[in-house]
Structures are given as C-alpha cells and as structure tokens.
Amino acid sequence: MTRRTFKTVATAIQCAHHWHHMCNARRYVAIQGSGTYLFQELGLSGRAVSREELSQRLKQVIDDAATIAESGAEVPAQTVANTIFCALLLEQHKDATHFFAKRTLNHAITGEALPTQLWAGFAVHRGLDLTATTVIEVGSGEVKQFSPGAAPVKHDAAPFYAVLAEQGPTAAAAWLDSLVPGAAADSVVKFGTAALRSLPAVPGVEVISQESEAQLEHAAIAAALEMARPAAVSGMEFLGNLGWGNGSAQGMLRGVLYQRDVGLKALMKAMGVDVTAKAKSRIYPGGASEFYQGVAAAKAIAAGA
C-alpha cells in the first residue's frame, strides 16, 4: 500500500459494514492467519465458500489423512490441525453461511495490492509509511518480514526464541536486527503476538494484546474489502473476521471480541507431533485408529475440554 492509500483506510473501515448491509440471507466471515493457508491448500482462496462445501472439504482432509496414516506414511499434522480448528469455528459460528479467505486483494480501481493480514492492520493503526518502513511480526512459529518493494519473507521463529531463552532479551533484539542489516533504527518497526506475551520484554518489540490482535486483523480485512469490493462476496453481509495461528485464535464478529488462548501448536502436541521439528508431520504406528485418537484429543483441546 502507498501512503495515500493508508490515509483512506479509516474511512474505508467505517464504510465496510455499510457496503455489505444491502445483504440478503447470505452472511460471511473472513478467515485470517493460518486459515488463509488452509484455504490455499484446498484451492478455495478468493472464493465465497458455502458452509456445506467447506464442511465437506474439511472432512475429506481428515479422511485422506487417516488413509495416509493407515499406509504408514507421514501425516501432514499441521494441515490436520488447521482443519480441526477451522471445523470447530464452523460449528461455533453458525450464523455465517459462507467463508472467505485471501491474503491479498486488489484495489477495485487502481489494481493496487491490498494486504489483508495482521501486519497491515498494525501498520494502518500506527500510521506507518510502508514505502519507507520494514515491519517485522514476531509470531509463535514464524518471524515475518515485510519490506518496501519486496516479497514477504518468513523466518523460522525457533532460533529467535532459543536466543531469547539462552542469551536474553538484548541478544534476541540483535537477532531480529540482523534480518535487516544496515537499516536505520527508525525504518524498522517490530511487534509480537501470543508467544511473547508471557516472556521477557525484548527491546524494540511492541507486544500487542490478543484483543488488539483481533481488532487490527479486523481493520486490515475490512479496509481491504471496502477498497477491493471482491465480486465473490458482493451482496453478502460481512459478519467479521476469525483468525488463528500457532499460539492463539481471535476475531471480531458483529463487533464482539472472540478469543482463545490455544493455537495450532497445542493441537499438534495433542496429536503426538514434535512441534519443535521443522516438518510438522508424524507416522502413526497404529495406523488410522491411532490417528483418529490423536484427532479426538486435538478436538478436545480446541473445544476447551
């Protein structure tokens, strides 16, 4: 986004619900965070997917994973955990008839790329000029880097947390600075989410609350939807957003905060997966039966049982 585009965001957010108010019985939720990757995997990104179709597709993911487990091959546990979380939210929020996810939309008039994720909402709220500022988002599983004129870069967060635990906050801050060598201090803005909320403060990193995370994600998608006006959701009522990641889940639905202090890592642990390993997968010696036991345990964690 350009600086000029960002100046229109506050107005766009106010207009977003008005645009969708000319609705009929079709109501949709915008999916964010790790859910957007699930939609990409399923070939659903950019579509308004009906509750019925999405439910069927999620069931198919679990069934296919059980077949893989029975064959003795490695099961893609992260995809399964993502699926379990999505299915739970589907069950909990029955007011929505459709679900929509797309990491980047395009301005209806200029064609300009409009990011829809947390970091974009953070940038809007802080009034950052993204033509001159690098934003670094420190998550539970990844450190994401958004630099002017460059594609987003994802770094494994494990080395950062290892440095923080073994060498302390100052060394952890230096590790983050090494991602943008030579950059002026005022040209890099860093913020963190779930995992950093219970750890020692890292110099130069603003840790946002879960409520702020939900609000900023909502701001990002609402503004992008208003400026892009995607045909896929034209005429539908926008209920709000739901996002989840490795450490938490949150959203704003009809202006009401939804938050959970559980994420994909907890679900994968319940499935017996080593979440410190780079590849989030495992073999189930007991085949499909053992796999389904793991799924049941993950569902219980997701549901708060």
* pLDDT tens, position by position, 205-249: 999 999 999 999 999 999 999 999 999 999 999 999 999 999 999
pLDDT over 70 at 7, yes or no? no
Residue 1 to residue 305: CA distance in whole angstroms: 42
Contacts of 132 (CB under 8 A, 6+ apart): 148, 187
Res 6: pLDDT: 45
Domain positions in the chain: 3-106+212-303, 130-207
Task: Give the CATH fold of the 130-207 domain.
Answer: Nucleotidyltransferase; domain 5 (3.30.420)
Residue 50 to residue 48: CA distance in whole angstroms: 6
Average pLDDT in the 139-156 region? 93
pLDDT over 90 at 304, yes or no? no
Tell me if 251 sits within 8 A of 214, measured CB to CB.
yes
Q: pTM for the complete prediction?
A: 0.83
Q: Which residues pair with 251 in a beta bridge?
A: 242, 258
For residue 36 the two structure tokens come to: 């957007």
Specify the length of the chain in residues. Answer: 305
Res 24: pLDDT: 53
